[in-house]
Structure 1
């Protein structure tokens, strides 16, 4: 039998073996999503399937995708538009989609999902409503429910089904609140899928074979939770063994979030536990209510904007100038084999690039290569790489002290410490040795690129590449365009950053660029509070509970106060050299006092915190209150949090005003991923525009902080004009 019905989004075919194939293929999109058209077309196809099952024309069904990915999930763009007024409609829409998936899993024949690419969020929820899940062994296949990373929960039955499939604790702790995107091997190990095939060509035949083998098997078409006598794995939420442990779950999740009040994990826990105590239909209603509450809130909108749309733009090289062919680096010179240079060498070699790692001595260069050797050994121990592939990566790194070894390098990344004259000297030594059109990149966090470019003859090929430590792990590279950097050089640099699997954030030249300026004002504000007599534990808790990954004082210890003193001195000297008046920041006396007291940070074994002999952080140093006594009157906790958030956001606004940064996506992702601006806010640009009352509300709150704590919080005329016009920041 070859009977075909077609809609614009879902195809339905029945073969001579009575196996139906439902193929998702949205012609208007590169990926299949839970669009309104999909929902209608899928419901129509299930009508056809139900009729064929009833008359015996179909014995089983396969759901598959004609796209490179299986199914991308929900339409998150639409969620940016919904608000509290849309709650009832959104709730009803959620229940309608759940009813469609419920109909598929109870249609009377077994259904297999054939997963050929990413099945995330709604895509995997669809798979959960099938009776057997088969995936292709392929790196592009990712499986899971990452909605929590967007401030949401799995609202198409994902919470209900994972609790009934895996049990309350496993569903919450390992799948729903982690946001993990599982590889095929990990998904099979966790039980998220049931079978793996070696290639795309094997996928549909394997699905068909399973269905034919289970034709007529009543159990194969019934989910475990619909069978008589079913019990939730591990026990019901009301069982004493489970209920006695449930009170600790929110605390563990909150601890993992470092105290940040993300609403999604709390909603997930509530939906899972409450839903486990009622029947399937009741659990779906509970899940829908929690989903709607999250989806209509501001946190989800901020996180969707940052971690979906902004991330998509940045990781796709959205700031790359058009009109230039992609030109990968084939042989890279890394100048300086310290921790930064060694990390860059590892990331580049892992991406298949030949690397020449140069330092002043061969011994130093070999130590840099040894860093990669250690990382690869750890990766082998964890089963993440084979010995053969590890040897290939290591074989791409050539340590040297000989400048002539750089012949033929078509890319250069200099990674020595922040000394402008040293950097210029290195480029003078190598410029005539590397390829005549080699990309010339300097890794610097603060030094103006236009000034550094004076050390080379080809200033048009010179560009800044600010890697973050450790360079092998940190996903962001701040790409800094100098005054004479060409569009072609910028395009080549973005290509290189993407080539080594990192995210390029493009900014224009200035002292400190974007990220260093932003993190600098956060640090300064934390120090200002210490100088004012704010309790140090208040500063740390305020930082963490605002959503930052580490406390302001802990960050100082990690960065090293001696280095901070040098940077401050360099900034002052730079301002004076440029004829700008230098105004000491509030709290400027804290760092010199700490250094004089022998408390320079973790590297010295003593800073704002005490450290044991192994370098493990202990409590806050008790002597800090002698240097800076705690005042009797303390700032409010909200003010302490807002001082940190507003200091950084206002500095980001200045960077927009000065033309240092031109993209809200770059501003948000750069601040979140590189320097830990709270992800819960969506990044500094979104934090300002999403503030209660919009940008005008943000300016009003900034004025209150300025009245209380100083003019540094006063919004500029430029920002006030933007707030008055209702204009946002450029995407």
Structure 2
């Protein structure tokens, strides 16, 4: 086997759409000392079946199980008595929650820590708890159905045998890296022992979830169980009863030595990997390659993946005891980093934005109309029909409808290919989608989302046409990125039913939905729109009306400052590097091409008209000249860069004609503040300052939604927690000092918001004054 096959180590992914649900802090009563079914126990239930102790995890007042102090305390008591009770020969650990074994550890325990020693102690206690399971003289079987993640997966790995249903809901993984952490209860060591170093690196560095089938192939699950069982009706209760029955039989067989647990190398690759760990050259190559890939993909901005590599390597080279010690130490260090605090804050915010803060609507939306079968309209229709809505999609031509339906079908085919849905489910979903060229199909719609051309006159015509057809209760939602909703509502006969729903492209992949209310939007309309967005699977922020709303307004500032930098001689590739090195996934120049220079120009002039000189930056006439030259960005094949369809490893070529236009007509001499740090902060400061101004002006309701919108909609670095959390860490005083120096050179565009000025004077003022608590 070639050495390069061994070097196929995973790449670290910083995507935030993989966040797992870890659950919240719950209180329990102490478990009784005797192993019998005890109704007073809140989180754990026990019973004895044929000398097998069955422990059912069922965290009270929670949809999912999470490991917290009280649950682990109860479990320890059970383990202690399991050891001394001669009437019990083995045990089974199973969940009482539908679709969830254990979703992870309770992160509020970590949020209370103020020192790395406190965080390391949590890790060591977790390791000790799972050692108690692993060292039990009596076999303990984990019976897994549904999500088994983080600390829940570490618990399952500590058990002597793992059974998992092949249900699509069953997923195993270690997502701690997505919170800036690493598996802290022995996971880094046990993954390598149960499978191999490649698997350990893959799961720990990516945070991805694997199916039960995949887990079986890589040695993390011992036995697969059909979730239906022979002759059983397909429901969760039957699945759990059948799983429990199988687990009890397995536990009995292991205890009686009828079943021997033998985990030799599963494949030739496993054998080669295990043998190669003893060869210095190969081992060094594997870990150095992993480190190189991490640095390439994360720009070294995320400390957790590098720590993960070091800890796994320590366990391989120095043994399990050293591995456990390195793990707990690294866990404590990572828990205190601003990156971890930012990611945990983001997770909390994401959880909050999956709730409807406007309450439950009085009536349910069942039928959705989508007007326009273009890229956005088809995406909106796809996430609607995919999540249970009856959807009517209208376009002006059969050709347009066909193109939209093809896009939706491709999206569903991808889900089938990735085994997220079956062919039958795909057909059932598509049967709920009804294409039409006729408005009459909207007569029974509960909401119509229009995704027509971004032009006020077109929007007005559409609103008038719709209101003559749709029922009186129907909400009309306009998908717009910048046009004030109150302007669109001027022609509406029932403005209380009109609202903005700003989706992000591609709709089926981007998590954020920005809902915009105007002064006459009713609370019921808002509640319904949020409910629709949540059912579509979106993270929803709700903002008040204004030019550019929130996301478009703050994004525009960084792009306009980027134009000025290019006028000052910063090369487009260098501009991209500046923003990516700060942590944005896409460079500023590339983003302009992705948005579309014609779209950017249209928005730029509207915002400049609304906000005046404060929105100054690059010369907007440059954008007009680019549009006249046909340089519209990616969609036209040329913009700031050239898009010729070729795929290469190098940077995309710069459009030299673009550079010629800049140099001949719009070249500027830099006035200063042109170090690498200053060039970056000039863009970031304007972005952040505009976010703060949106909060001051009431566009935003709170900093949390501002952070979520910036990260999930615009790619503001996830590890920062968002622009408001970034200010708390960077400090308002430093930001204001920088902005004032830039304002001396470049004018009012860098005038800091009054909130920032006030915070700079009083260091105790923060956007998140209670950062670290479990409540945001």
Give the alignment partner of residue 70 of structure 1, picking from 88, 101, 111: 101
Give the alignment partner of residue 182 of structure 1, picking from 210, 216, 223: 210
Does 2:395 correspond to 1:356? no
In structure 1, the residue matched to 2:654 is: 620
Gaps in structure 2 of 5+ consecutive residues: 1-33, 228-238, 769-775
User: How far is the alpha carbon of 1:418 from its aligned partner?
Assistant: 0.8
Give the alignment partner of residue 497 of structure 1, picking from 528, 533, 542: 533
1:128-527 pair list within 5 angstroms:
128-172=157-201, 174-194=202-222, 195-198=224-227, 199-217=239-257, 233-235=273-275, 237-239=277-279, 240-257=281-298, 259=299, 261-306=301-346, 308-317=347-356, 319=357, 321-322=358-359, 324-325=361-362, 327-527=363-563
User: How far is the alpha carbon of 1:472 from its aligned partner?
Assistant: 2.2
Give the alignment partner of residue 716 of structure 1, picking from 753, 758, 765: 753
Task: Provide Cα deviations, 1:227-274, integer angstroms capped at 9, x if missing partner.
Answer: xxx9895335442333333311112123333x2521111111111112
TM-score by length of 2: 0.85
User: How far is the alpha carbon of 1:536 from its aligned partner?
Assistant: 3.1
In structure 1, the residue matched to 2:126 is: 97
Gaps in structure 1 of 5+ consecutive residues: none
Distance 1:15 1:456, change over 3 A: same
1:569-718 pair list within 5 angstroms:
569-572=605-608, 584-595=616-627, 598-613=630-645, 618-622=652-656, 626=660, 627-628=662-663, 635-691=674-730, 694-707=731-744, 710-718=747-755
Task: Provide Cα deviations, 1:422-445, integer angstroms capped at 9, x if missing partner.
Answer: 111111112121122101100000
Select between 94-103 and 181-190 the one with higher mean Cα deviation. Answer: 181-190
Task: Provide Cα deviations, 1:284-325, integer angstroms capped at 9, x if missing partner.
Answer: 00111111110011110010000x2101000123x3x13644
For the 8 Å contact 1:548–1:677, the answer to whether it is kept is yes
In structure 2, the residue matched to 1:79 is: 110
Distance 1:346 1:130, change over 3 A: same
Secondary structure at the counterpart of residue 651 of structure 1: helix
2-side partners of 1:11 and 1:322: how far apart? 32
For the 8 Å contact 2:601–2:620, the answer to whether it is kept is no
Secondary structure at the counterpart of residue 690 of structure 1: helix
1-side partners of 2:157 and 2:320: how far apart? 14
User: How far is the alpha carbon of 1:394 from its aligned partner?
Assistant: 2.4
For the 8 Å contact 2:616–2:749, the answer to whether it is kept is no
Secondary structure at the counterpart of residue 479 of structure 1: strand
Give the alignment partner of residue 44 of structure 1, picking from 77, 93, 109: 77
- Report the RMSD for the aligned CA atoms in angstroms: 2.9
Distance 1:127 1:650, change over 3 A: same
Distance 1:77 1:93, change over 3 A: closer
User: How far is the alpha carbon of 1:729 from its aligned partner?
Assistant: 3.8
**How many residues are matched?**
709
Secondary structure at the counterpart of residue 55 of structure 2: strand
User: How far is the alpha carbon of 1:17 from its aligned partner?
Assistant: 2.0
Distance 1:405 1:22, change over 3 A: closer
1-side partners of 2:739 and 2:94: how far apart? 52
User: How far is the alpha carbon of 1:689 from its aligned partner?
Assistant: 1.9
Select between 426-435 and 132-141 the one with higher mean Cα deviation. Answer: 132-141
Task: Provide Cα deviations, 1:577-627, integer angstroms capped at 9, x if missing partner.
Answer: xxx678643343543454455533222222222232458872334555543
Select between 189-198 and 482-491 the one with higher mean Cα deviation. Answer: 189-198
Distance 1:165 1:708, change over 3 A: farther
Distance 1:566 1:213, change over 3 A: same
For the 8 Å contact 1:528–1:588, the answer to whether it is kept is no
For the 8 Å contact 1:20–1:61, the answer to whether it is kept is yes
1-side partners of 2:641 and 2:251: how far apart? 62
For the 8 Å contact 2:567–2:668, the answer to whether it is kept is no
Distance 1:247 1:530, change over 3 A: same
2-side partners of 1:652 and 1:664: how far apart? 9
Secondary structure at the counterpart of residue 214 of structure 1: helix
